[in-house]
Structure 1
């Protein structure tokens, strides 16, 4: 089980990303638009710098839904490799079978 503070911190980041998503995308589009004047692009980049760092989508960490473990995360299932194996062996994940050869 991951530290509760780490899980809560990541949840707070997710909320910030959702809150600033539209503004961030708008400014990013302006900053990357080559047809605009260089000063306009610079102003957009400066405004992007004013947005909180945790509002950047790259700062959100994928974590297991059950344990909060950040490593070995399977996006398709939303859980880590250890939980995937346990739940798969118990037959709780539909369509997942243990391979044998």
Structure 2
């Protein structure tokens, strides 16, 4: 189980991302429209004005059950060892288990 403070920090980043999404998108569109270099630098400054944690690149995918940051599969939203336990317990329909 991941520390609860790290999970809460990740949730806070998700909320910030949603809050500043429209600002980031509009400034990115403006940069593509402007042809002068000084204008692009000015808009680039606006793009850096929102908080750093509102950038989507700072989000990290975590396991839905345990909050583990590594080894989580996108399709299921679970980490590898939880996924394997679910496969062997036949709790994931349509999944084929392998034994090695």
TM normalised by structure 2 equals 0.92
Q: Which residue of 2 aligns with 1:45?
A: 44
Deviations 1:42-98 (A, max 9, x none): 111101111100000000010000000000010010111111101111111111121
Indicate the SS of the match to 1:64. Answer: coil
Q: Which residue of 2 aligns with 1:67?
A: 66
Cα RMSD after superposing both structures: 1.6
Q: Which residue of 1 aligns with 2:21?
A: 21
Structure 2's unaligned 5+ residue stretches are: none
How far has the Cα of 1:34 moved from its partner? 6.6
Query: Size of the alignment, in residue pairs?
Result: 100
TM normalised by structure 1 equals 0.91
Structure 1's unaligned 5+ residue stretches are: none
